[in-house]
């Protein structure tokens, strides 16, 4: 007989947390306040991992998952929780991390930034595999806790025009002679075009190429081929197509990008996030501002548009070249950019950059500890806006900013960049 447990809370990954004979048990598919029958699939020394096999008492916040692959596909983990409750849970994750790891509380909890809950993903990497047992080629995300690819024909969080391509892509690749030599497809949705980058371990034959061209024409997408690293990606068909770009209309900016370059996955929330970051940073003419981990200039160019002197620093030479081009394209030739490995920042290197009035920091998940440790004692930036995709590293860095560097955490809040997943995007304002 399966055990029955009461779910006491929700963990940071969206699992229900219960106690079974005193041992912590993480339950997939169960929500706080629920009573669930569970099946344990792994026993660890200090905890169990389990699936909910039946919900005996449901939470008022339980929602019907919209996607028929939910539970099997590893792309989403929270569709069974009301979107507004997901945001509340993410806010709690942020606050708990700040208190537990950072030993700080924000002066103000900013209202969460909301965007569309469905069809929001304009960036994705779809895996491809021929599986004869499944009747051909699978295209999609990995199954939960597995290297198998989910047998899916649509996706509710992908941009609808991309979701509609999953079935046709399966059919197309099934007809290609090199189907086994296409491990993945990178998707980039721009304002005027969808680009699909096929990773090719073996070139297309003439017949394959004809099928691929016909697919691109029929579905109004541009197909790129990538033989080796991302720098080898190039348009295959059609040769000439509308530019891949996104817009930041509040700042009168158009941001062209290559489909292999980093851009935020959710363009609606990105616009809201840039807008909030700029309101918090409040750049003014006469100020000198650094945008660290600047990518293609997503925050740098809006800062330049507000009339401040801005220096964007970023580890990828390709993205810095793109940021420079985008600055020229948007008539902001004074925005400065440099390539540097910010994980190797030191107080000496920071001092060599000169003094800054304000900083914007938007690091990858591993955070920006070397940057915050390198801030000078005197002449330090008086305001820092920190955009984070991992609340644990934000909290770790906040601890240094507040308890070592003398900043106050004035405000913090989440942006629902990745609805139905446990990823937490957040923004924090520090001042001294």
Ligand X SMILES: C[S@@+](CC[C@H](N)C(=O)[O-])C[C@H]1O[C@@H](n2cnc3c(N)ncnc32)[C@H](O)[C@@H]1O
Q: Is 294 tagged catalytic?
A: no
Decide: helix, strand or coil at residue 267.
helix
Task: For residue 156, state whether it binds ligand X (rule: CB under 6 A).
Answer: no
122 lies in the binding site for ligand X (CB under 6 A): no
Contact call for residue 308 and ligand X (CB under 6 A)? no
Dihedral sign of CA atoms 222, 223, 228, 230 in order: positive
Q: Cα 146 from chain centroid?
A: 21
Q: Write the CB contacts of 335 (distance below 8 Å, at least 6 apart in sequence).
A: 297, 300, 301, 303, 304, 310, 312, 323, 327
| Both structure tokens of 269 | 């929330």
361 contributes a contact to ligand X by CB under 6 A: no
Please state the closest distance from residue 255 (CB atom) to ligand X, in A.
Answer: 9
186 part of the interface to ligand X, by CB under 6 A: no
CA distance 138 to 73: 12
Among 280, 372, 389, 414, binds ligand X (CB under 6 A): 389
Task: Check residue 350 for interaction with ligand X (CB under 6 A).
Answer: no
By the 8 A CB rule, do 65 and 72 touch?
no
From 150, 187, 200, 319, residue interacting with ligand X (rule: CB under 6 A): 319
Q: How far apart are CA 46 and CA 241, in angstroms?
A: 56
Q: Of 162-170, 225-233, 238-246, 262-270, which segment contacts ligand X by CB under 6 A?
A: 262-270
> Contacting ligand X (CB under 6 A), which of 343, 373, 400, 408?
343
To the nearest 5 percent, what fractions of the chain are helix, strand and coil?
30, 30, 40
- Give whichever of 85 and 323 is closer to ligand X, judged by the CB atom: 323
* 295 touching ligand X, by CB under 6 A: yes
Q: What is the maximal distance between C-alpha atoms in the chain?
A: 71
Q: Please state the closest distance from residue 312 (CB atom) to ligand X, in A.
A: 8
How many binding residues for ligand X (CB under 6 A)?
20
18: left (phi over 0), alpha (psi -120 to 50) or beta: beta
Query: Which residue, 4 or 321, is less far from ligand X as judged by CB?
Result: 321
State how far the Cα of 374 lies from the Cα of 372, in Å rounded to an integer: 5
* Sheet containing 336-339, strands listed edge to edge, beginning at the edge strand earlier in sequence: 108-109, 408-415, 425-431, 383-388, 358-361, 288-292, 309-314, 336-339
Closer of 200 and 389 to ligand X (Cβ) = 389
Binding segment (CB under 6 A) for ligand X, from list 24-32, 144-152, 311-319, 373-381: 311-319
Contact segment (CB under 6 A) with ligand X among 111-119, 293-301, 326-334, 374-382 equals 293-301
Residue of the chain from 143, 156, 314, 397 that contacts ligand X (CB under 6 A)? 314
Q: What is the CA radius of gyration of the chain?
A: 23
- Among residues 73, 76, 155, 389, the one annotated as catalytic is 389
Among residues 47 and 343, whose Cβ is nearest to ligand X?
343
Closest to ligand X by CB, 294 vs 411, is 294
Choice from 26, 215, 246, 299 touching ligand X (CB under 6 A): 299
Catalytic residues: 389
Binding residues for ligand X, per CB under 6 A? 262-264, 293-296, 298-299, 314-316, 319, 341-343, 362-364, 389
């Amino acid at each position: 007989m399966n055990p029955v447990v009461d779910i006491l809370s929700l963990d940071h990954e969206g699992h229900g947390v219960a106690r079974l004979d005193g041992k912590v048990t993480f339950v997939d598919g169960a929500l706080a306040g629920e009573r669930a029958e569970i099946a344990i699939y792994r026993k660890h020394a200090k905890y169990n991992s389990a699936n909910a096999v039946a919900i005996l008492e449901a939470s008022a916040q339980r929602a019907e998952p919209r996607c028929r692959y939910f539970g099997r596909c590893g792309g989403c983990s929270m569709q069974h929780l009301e979107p507004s409750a997901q945001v509340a849970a993410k806010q709690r994750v942020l606050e708990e991390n700040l208190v537990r790891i950072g030993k700080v509380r924000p002066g103000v909890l900013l209202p969460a930034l909301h965007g569309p809950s469905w069809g929001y993903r304009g960036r994705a990497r779809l895996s491809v595999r021929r599986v004869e047992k499944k009747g051909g080629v699978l295209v999609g995300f990995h199954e939960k806790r597995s290297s198998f690819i989910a047998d899916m024909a649509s996706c509710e969080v992908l941009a609808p025009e991309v979701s509609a391509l999953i079935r046709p892509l399966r059919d197309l690749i099934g007809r290609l002679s090199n189907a086994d030599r296409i491990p993945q497809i990178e998707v980039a949705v721009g304002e005027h075009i969808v680009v699909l980058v096929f990773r090719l371990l073996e070139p297309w034959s003439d017949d394959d190429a004809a099928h691929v061209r016909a697919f691109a024409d029929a579905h109004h997408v541009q197909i790129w081929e990538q033989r080796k690293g991302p720098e080898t990606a190039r348009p295959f068909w059609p040769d000439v197509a509308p530019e891949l770009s996104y817009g930041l209309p509040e700042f009168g900016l158009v941001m062209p990008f290559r489909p292999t370059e980093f851009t935020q996955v959710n363009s609606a929330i990105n616009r809201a996030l840039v807008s909030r970051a700029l309101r918090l940073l409040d750049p003014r003419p006469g100020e000198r501002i650094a945008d660290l981990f600047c990518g293609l200039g997503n925050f740098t160019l809006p800062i330049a548009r507000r009339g401040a002197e801005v220096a964007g620093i970023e580890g990828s030479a390709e993205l810095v070249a793109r940021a420079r081009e985008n600055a020229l394209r948007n008539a902001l030739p004074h925005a400065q950019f440099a390539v540097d490995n910010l994980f190797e920042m030191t107080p000496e290197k920071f001092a060599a950059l000169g003094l800054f009035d304000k900083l914007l920091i938007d690091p990858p998940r591993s955070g920006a500890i070397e940057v915050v440790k390198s801030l000078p004692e005197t002449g330090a930036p008086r305001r820092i806006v920190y955009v984070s995709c991992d609340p644990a590293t934000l909290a770790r860095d906040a601890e240094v900013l507040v308890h070592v560097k003398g900043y106050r955490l004035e405000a913090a809040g989440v942006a629902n960049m990745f609805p139905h997943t446990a990823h937490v995007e957040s923004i924090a304002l520090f001042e001294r």
